[in-house]
Amino acid sequence: MANRRDVLKASTVPLLFVGARAVAQIPVRDAASQEESCGQPLLEWPRGIEGQRKADMGDGRFLNPILAGDYPDPSVLKDGDDYYMTHSSFDAAPGLLIWHSRDLVNWGPLEPALDKPLGTGFAVDIAKHDGRYFIYIPFMRAPWSKGLADFANIFVIHAPSMRGPWSKPVDLKIGGLIDPGHVLGEDGHRYLFFNGGKRVRLTADGLATAGPIEDAYTAWKYPDDWIAEAYSPEGPKLFRRGDYFYLVNAVGGTAGPPTGHMIVAARSKTIHGPWESCPHNPIQRTRSASERWWSRGHATCVEGPGGNWFMVYHGFENGYQTLGRQTLLEPIEWTADGWFRAVGGDLSKPLRKPGGQAVPNGLPHSSIFNKADMGRLWSLYASAPDDAESVRFEPGALILAGKGRSAADGTVLTQQVGDRSFEITVELALRGESEGGLLLFFNNRLFLGMGIDGKRMTSYRGGKASYWPEPAPPSRHIHMRIVNDRQIVTFYYSLDDKEWTRHGVRSQVTGYNANTIDDLLSLRPALFASGAGEVSFRRFVYRAL
């Protein structure tokens, strides 16, 4: 299978055009206006930095997600009392932001491990061996990639600490496979398992292969009448407990129908198999579209601070697929016969925390723009390694060099968010022949927002310039604001940051998701610059509503 998304077919979602224009105050919802979400009572999350929702309820319980926003394919490493996690970062540069926790609920960002991706990177695995740390990375060939031998290629980076410094990517010369899972066998050799039941032995230093690619296992197959996207066995994560090695797979596809993606397990007393499928597979699966969390899969099993075990995996939030695949935590229990079961029940309800010490959680999304924010807060979208030169910093300002002719092919800088409702504001000024603006950006085929070129404002919807001629005054300096109120999006602009004009068109963005555009990303705040000049951005402000 060439790509886990090959089986999806795109669909389009019509949007409502509204032609009102007025001077307006930004609406803010109060608690009394909360409604049911997807047929479920909306249980409010605790609020953290900038009003962002957070998991820790402060009373010994937590409410999923543990990382709100598009943090898919989690790989977790337990290292003494510390836990480290990273996720698929795809085309983002820098990528592979490392998160740190001591209780599996509160996570603080460290630094990105991958300065310059070689292609589209996803579904990595973290490992520690002989005191050194490794991240095994599949790179899919991107339009800007150079020197990648196959459509999918396995590399590794390594470091003396999870805080780095990380090496440059080392080519393992493995082509055509994705989703590496590292394990140390009972024979003392290191192995990588892959999608589709494949395996290879590694050298002792973990930086090269020591044998051929071979067939190793067959993932459990669900009944044919189940509604899933595709069989697509992927994401093998392996660990050893007691007398057994356990192999945890994702099957059923990654998005598509909400009941498709699922977690299955197998075990063997030797790393060489045979692998016995769990008698109560699937370990976890969304069984109804009425559940809060859809398409749950790609799990890492980890022992928690108190000795109990947990699965960390991803899922789409019902009604908010625009936020991408968010990171979830669910307890598991070990049965007398040596298997494990998911025991979290309804993940829309609070669960007991694992224990352990809480680290400072999350990070602010507001930015006065400094280089330290790159990779932790901001990242370039779909950019070749040399494109890093298109971003530079001045005191209190970020300067984006333009390219292309519009937001679709310009320089785009994005950041993750995980709130159902939020507003973003930025000040921008044009330098030279350029266009710049503020967007909610899924990918270069699907986005919406505003851009100015000094002569007019261009309104973007559905990944292209809209017909709507917004009568904004011609200006090379402007303040822009976007409010996303439960997926109803409103634009505002101001020349003085005091009197704000509401844009004449509102948008409904529920359809800006993976199943519409056949890409596993999320709708996120973005800045863009196009043309031959530059755009200066100042004072980006984020506020959850």
Which active-site residues does the annotation give? 73, 234
Render 173-228 in DSSP notation, one character per residue: EEES----EEEE-TTS-EEEE-GGGEEEEE-TTSSSB-S--EE--------TTS--
Q: Tokens 């370990």 appear where? A: 283
Q: Can you give the length of the chain in residues?
A: 545
In angstroms, the CA 313 to CA 330 distance is 8
At 425, list the tokens.
Answer: 């504001």
In angstroms, the CA 437 to CA 527 distance is 6
At 88, list the tokens.
Answer: 């698929």
In angstroms, the CA 499 to CA 23 distance is 7
Residue whose C-alpha is closest to residue 315's, from 454, 167, 418, 463: 418
In angstroms, the CA 222 to CA 335 distance is 22
Element containing residue 514 per DSSP (H, E): helix 514-517
DSSP secondary-structure letter at 497? Answer: S
Sign of CA dihedral 297, 145, 116, 324: negative
In angstroms, the CA 385 to CA 379 distance is 12
Residue whose C-alpha is closest to residue 322's, from 525, 480, 490: 525
C-alpha dihedral, 173 to 178 to 179 to 182, nearest 10°:
-20
Q: Tokens 């040596």 appear where? A: 338
Sign of CA dihedral 219, 224, 228, 229: positive
Q: Residue 215 in contact with residue 198, Cβ under 8 Å?
A: yes
- Residues ≥6 apart with Cβ < 8 Å to 121: 88, 89, 90, 95, 96, 114, 137, 138, 139, 140
In angstroms, the CA 156 to CA 144 distance is 20
